[in-house]
Structure formats: structure tokens, C-alpha cells
Amino acid sequence: MENPQSSYTHTAFPSASFWGRRRDVVRTVTLPFQLDMLKKTGRYDAFKLKWHPSYSDPPNVWPVPNHLFWDSDVAKWIEGACYFLREHEEPDIRAAIHELVEMIRGAQQEDGYLNIHFTVVEPGKRFSNLRDKHELYNAGHLIEAALAHHACFRTDGLLEPILKYVDLLIRTFGSGSEQKHGYPGHPEIELALLRLYRVTQDERHLQLAEYFLSERGNPKGVDGQHFYAAEKEARGEREGEWPVYYPRDDAPYRYSQAHLPITEQPTVEGHAVRAMYLLTAVADLCALVPTGEAKTTYVDSLHRLWSNMVGKKMYLTGGIGAIARWEGFGINYFLPQSTDEGGCYAETCAAIGVVLLAERLLQIELDAKFADVMELCLYNAVLTGMSHDGKAFTYTNQLASSDLELSERKDWFQCACCPPNVSRLFGYLGGFVWTHKTVEPNQVELDIHLYTAASITVPVGDSKVTVRQETDWPSSGKVTFSVEMPSEVEVALRLRIPGWATEWTLEPELADPVVEHGYLTVPPPWVRSHPRFSLEIPMAARLVAPHPYTNQAVAAVARGPIVYCVEDADNTWVTDHFKSVIFDTSVSLQEVKRTDIFADETIIGVCAVDAASFLHVPESSDAWYGTPSDSLQANKKESLNFIPYYARANRGGKGMMRVGIRVQLG
């Protein structure tokens, strides 16, 4: 089994390509910009364990101090920076990493403990509120940072203190009578420990992750009580003391996916980022453990929860989480597009979590349904999270703006999980493009999940295989592959045929092609005789719509993996966030090459001429005695100019945007 982390190291993205341009921006602009933010806000120096004035601020939301995640903000930035530093030397970044590592080392306590808040602000309270206080979440991000640091610098500068901290955690948590039978409110350490295990092969790292996963949701984990209930009691909290962000239902720990053991959870619930990080760890565990009943049950749960999510709780853009209150999942098919229609959260980190989960699922089961969603999220719900200039970010990604929440980005957030998460995702991007395996000493299998200009080099014994994709995807659907391989090595390729594709052609032709679970197998002899070939998947603008049970009565435009939106910059007549627009879906969708949006990228826009008519809704102080709304049309038509959703909010304007547009009622 390959370490999935290792794939990225071999992937190269040409600078003048879709992802290459963005990765260059992250490396040259975003990383220094975010470093500056870390410094300005106090995060950079926080591991010095001095008091920061903001530590005295009352929490925005009880019981979570505003600075509680600072450790992870720094860790995620280090992780992302290390990925890029392996590819390009950046002296300022390198220097900052070194300084941060020194500060982190200096912040470690005698026994290995390593956490800013519980050392400076609440010493003596460590591990007393796993439910809400993000201690193990921070630890998980430190582990991931240490792994990236280790892979980049080949030193133990960060890994060493982190391993010492992990040793403390191993002593602290577990089924022993002297140990805490607990697990984090915000999963993250589980997936981090499994990544760590792939590098260390230390069974204790695997076992601690496995313990956190199997203990989670145990209704009688501590003296017949749920761990979180026992913990709450031990803190002396009262009956009515609950965070306001908890859902109100009969399962108080649904917020943290701890209302039931993972294997008994029928639907995906609660805080969306937590759910994704948790399931990513479960999938990773399934990839690591041999077959057996426990694994089967976990795999069944992954299928069940994945299906529930993608079939009933995912937006057209790949965004997840309709409910702002708990930043997470609502009921099945409840997917309004915006705050003023009832909710829409779709946090950037949650979409990143879907990508992480899909990548792990592809390791245990090669099925294009996972890669389809991974691609959908990457190009839409994730990519929209950063501005084209690399200096502004989103937290939530609604599908329609409103006066309450404009379509816009910000340079930073007090709870700053999303910006550095985007950076590290871009760093790790190669890991999502393909998966390779060396089956026998001379056989390489490469599963290609995403099409994009990139190349991968896989070492085989003393030799190596290089596979290159040339394409301007997603502008067009033509991809040219070239394979360089020594004569003694056999290369088998599996090419994903996307779920949205209506047809595909291989050139030269492959006789009797086999597509299984959405992947076209290209066998070694054919690769040998055709080391350069192309795949064409025609892309045309098409209409898409949410599931009818969402009761949205809207249509949207998509093309290949890209979901489109309308925004005010291209539709200057808009005054109401496109709320009153009725989209005539019988109008043909015309593709337009747009060079006016970004200086360095040609975008395929879509225009529907005169496709917009308008509801005429008089303001009235009376009760509504309407007839079905089709009769209420104003005498006016406009064209609809669509651009990719990811490109929104890059050109100023009024912040008005919409993905799904009202259709006529018949």
C-alpha cells in the first residue's frame, strides 16, 4: 500500500496551466500574505507562551475562547508551506517555518504537552473539555504539519516534539482503567494519527486512532455515562449549560457525530467539517487494516453516510451544510440557496473535507462516483474559497447572495480555519489527481481521477515511469497523455469517465474497451504500443437542477465539472440578487470565450439570450391571496450571462450572485 501522501511529491503542474497558475499564486502571494496575517493577529508569536491582550476578550460563543484554534492556524500554514517549499525555494517562507518550529519546540511542556490555550490561559484545565475545546484538533494539525515538515526538510525538528506529545496522548487516552475514555469533539487527530502511522509504522499510532474511532458515541463509556456527560459533570456544569450552536434534538452530541457509535449512525449529521474529518479517518483506517468484520462494518457505514450526503445533503456546487447555527447538515433534501431563503452554509473547510474523504474512499474502492464528487467540490465549492489574486477567502459559500450575506470574500477571519486550509489543499493537490501502485516489481498501475495539465513520475526499482497529461481542461475536454517507461516495465492506466460525460473517445481507438465503476481500463500492451494517445470528453453547457425533493424549482447551468452562476458584473440590471428572475430554460445556451474576467485565464462563459423574464411582485401590506405565480410576469426581458461559480466576487460590484435560478411554473 502506497502512502497517499507521497503521491503529491511526484506531481508537477506546469505554471501556465489551470491549477499551475493558482498554485503559483498560493506560493508567491497567499503564503506570504497569510504569514503576515499570522504575525499581525498574534498567532505567529503565540507559541512563545506570552499573554496576548486578546486572551482577555470574552468568547464570541460560549465556551469557546476566540483564540482556541491558533495552534491549528499556524500548523496548517506550516503544512501548506512545506508542500510548496519542496518544489520551490522561498527563503522567507523557509525562515518563518524554522522560527515557528523553534517556538513550538520551546512551548512543549516537560511531559510533552503542547497547547497554547491550556498552557497560558487555563493551565491545569487540560483535557477537561474534549467536547468543545479543540485540544486534540489542534494536536492533529500539529501532527500533519510535522509530517509535511519531515517530508520537506528530512529532519525531525518538528516531528520529534510532536511524537513526544503523541506519546503523552497515548498514555492519557485509551481503555485502561487509569486512562481517559474520551475522544475529541472536533475530529482531526484520528486522520492525522493514521497519516503518522503510514510514516512511523508505530502500531501505537494506529491503535490510538482506532480507539478514538471505536469509542466515539459509546453511550456508556465512563461509569455507565456518555463520555461527554461524565466530562460535563466533572466540570460542574449545570443542566442548562449548553453551547448555543448545538442542534436541539434528542441526541445532544449529534453536533459532534458522537450521538451514536459511528457504525450505528444512519445519516450524516451535525457539524459538517467534523463529519468529513471523522469519515476521512474511518476511510483511512479501512485502507490500513486487513479485512475483517470491523472493517466491513466501517466500510458499510462509509457507503451509507456518503450516499446520504451526496444524494440528499449536498448542494449543486458540492457544498455541504445548510444550517448556519451548527455549521452543518440539516434534514434530507433541505438545501435552500441562501440565508434569506432559509439557510445555506457550505463552509469552505467542509468542501475540503469532502475532497479528503473522496480521496481516501478511492483508495479502498475505485469508483468514479467518489472522484466525480471530488472533482465537483474542487472546481466549485473549494475553488470559490479563494480570490483569483490569492488574498481573499470565503468561510461560507452560499449559492445565492442576499442583502444579509453578499457574495464577497475577506482577507481573514477571527476563526481562521478556512484560509490556511485552502493553502495546504493547493499544496497537496497532486494527491487528488491520481493514485499509483507498483503491483509487481515491474508493473505500475496508475488510476487517473482528475484531468488537468500535470505529470507524475513513479519510481519502479531503479527506474521510473512518467505519465504526462496535456490539456486546457476544464476549457476543453481533450486530454493528451504521454507515457515514458523503460522497456521492462508494464504500465496499466485507468481513466475516469465522469458521471456528467455523455460520451468519450480514445484516439487511437481501443478495441473492446471496458469501463468498470466509471474507469476505462487501458491495458499495458496498448500503452506500450500507444505511449501517446488522447481522450476526448465533449463539454457542452447543460442545465442542471437540484433534486426535486429539495423543492427549489430552479435550474442552473453547468459545463463539464464547472457549475455556473450569474453575478451583477455581467448582468448589470440586477437589483434584487436575481430573486425575481425567471429563467426560460428553452433558450439555447451559448458558449462565449471570456478573456475579460482574469488577465491570465480564458474562461468559457455561457449566455442565454433574453432568457430572463421577471416576477412582478407588488409590495403589499395585505395577506397574500395569489394564484400560482406563473401569472405574475412583468413585461421585460434580459439576457443571462453566466460565469463559473469559482470566478464570482473577483470584480467588485454589488455582491449579487445566484446559481440556481427560478424556472417558470407550468
Q: Which residues bind a copy of itself (CB under 8 A)?
A: 62-63, 237-246, 248, 303, 306-307, 310-311, 314, 325, 330-334, 336, 339-342, 369, 372-373, 376, 499-500, 542-549, 551-553, 555, 579, 585, 615, 617, 620-630, 632, 662-666
Amino acid identity at 132: D
Residue 630 CA from chain centroid, whole number:
39
The minimum distance between CB 91 and a copy of itself, in angstroms, equals: 44
> Helix 418-427 and helix 348-364: axis angle, to 10°?
40
- The one-letter amino acid at 56: S
DSSP string, 405-426: S-S--BS--SS-SHHHHHHHHH
For a copy of itself, the closer CB: 344 or 446: 344
Q: Nearest approach, Cβ of 577 to a copy of itself (angstroms)? A: 11
Nearer to a copy of itself, 486 or 499 (CB): 499
Query: Nearest distance from residue 369's CB to a copy of itself, in Å?
Result: 5
- Cα–Cα distances (Å) from 138 to 67, 71, 166, 441, in that order, read 12, 6, 12, 40
Nearer to a copy of itself, 68 or 189 (CB): 68
The residue (of 489 and 541) whose beta carbon lies closer to a copy of itself is: 541
Q: What is the closest distance, in whole angstroms, from the C-beta atom of residue 153 to a copy of itself in the complex?
A: 40
Instruction: Give the whole-angstrom CA distance, residue 458 versus residue 476.
Output: 27
Task: Say if residue 63 is preceded by a cis peptide, omega within 30 of 0.
Answer: yes
Q: Which is nearer to a copy of itself, 151 or 364 (CB)?
A: 364
User: C-beta of 43: minimal distance to a copy of itself in Å?
Assistant: 25
Q: How many residues does the chain have?
A: 666
Least distance CB 210 / a copy of itself (angstroms):
27
| Residue 156 burial (CB count, 10 A) | 13
Count CA atoms closer than 13 A to 626's CA, side-chain side: 13
Shortest separation between residue 588's beta carbon and a copy of itself, angstroms: 15
Closest separation in Å from C-beta 560 to a copy of itself: 12
Smallest distance, Å, CB 184 to a copy of itself? 20
CB of 118 to a copy of itself, least distance (A): 19
Minimum CB separation of residue 590 from a copy of itself in Å reads 18
Q: Shortest distance, CB of residue 146 to a copy of itself, whole angstroms?
A: 34
Q: How far is the CB of 498 from a copy of itself (least distance, A)?
A: 10
In angstroms, the CA 187 to CA 283 distance is 13
Q: What phi, psi does 15 have (nearest 5°)?
A: -60, -40
Give the nearer residue to a copy of itself in terms of CB position, either 245 or 413. 245
In angstroms, the Cα distances linking 85 to 27, 98, 148, 152 are 8, 12, 10, 7
- Report the residue number, 177 or 621, with the smaller CB distance to a copy of itself: 621
Strand bridging mode 490-496 / 443-448: parallel
In sequence order, the 6+-apart residues with CB closer than 8 A to the CB of 466 are: 455, 456, 457, 458, 483, 484, 485
d(CA 625, CA 640): 31
C-alpha cell at position 272: 459538517
CA 415 centroid distance within chain: 17
Reduced to 3 states, what is the DSSP secondary structure of residue 149? helix
Q: Tell me the three cell numbers of residue 567.
A: 453575478
Q: Using CA atoms, how far apart are residues 484 and 267, in angstroms rounded to an integer?
A: 46
Nearer to a copy of itself, 462 or 622 (CB): 622
**306 or 481, CB closer to a copy of itself?**
306
Q: Which CB, 310 or 433, lies closer to a copy of itself? A: 310
Neighbouring residues of 597: CB distance < 8 A, sequence distance ≥ 6: 603, 605, 643, 647, 650, 651
**Bridge partners, residue 464, by sequence:** 459
Closest-CA residue to 408 (of 170, 635, 214, 653)? 653
482 close to 489: Cβ distance less than 8 angstroms: no
Contacts of 312 (CB under 8 A, 6+ apart): 332, 333, 547, 549
**Residue nearer to a copy of itself on the CB measure, 109 or 267:** 267
Is the CB of 205 or the CB of 579 nearer to a copy of itself? 579
Closer CB to a copy of itself, 94 or 369, in the complex: 369
Provide, rounded to whole angstroms, the least separation between the CB of residue 658 and a copy of itself: 12
Q: Is 23 helix (H, G, I), strand (E, B) or coil?
A: helix
* 249 Cβ contact list (under 8 Å, min separation 6): none
CB of 57 to a copy of itself, least distance (A): 13
CA proximity to 497, closest of 476, 481, 514, 518: 518
Is the CB of 369 or the CB of 654 nearer to a copy of itself? 369
**Minimum distance of a copy of itself from residue 572's CB (angstroms):** 23
Beta bridge partners of 584: none
- Measure Cα distances from 238 to 126, 233, 254, 579 in Å: 20, 8, 20, 45
Contact 189, 170 (CB under 8 A): no
Q: Which is nearer to a copy of itself, 335 or 456 (CB)?
A: 335
- Residue 30 per-residue DSSP state: I
Decide whether 242 or 526 has the Cβ nearer to a copy of itself: 242
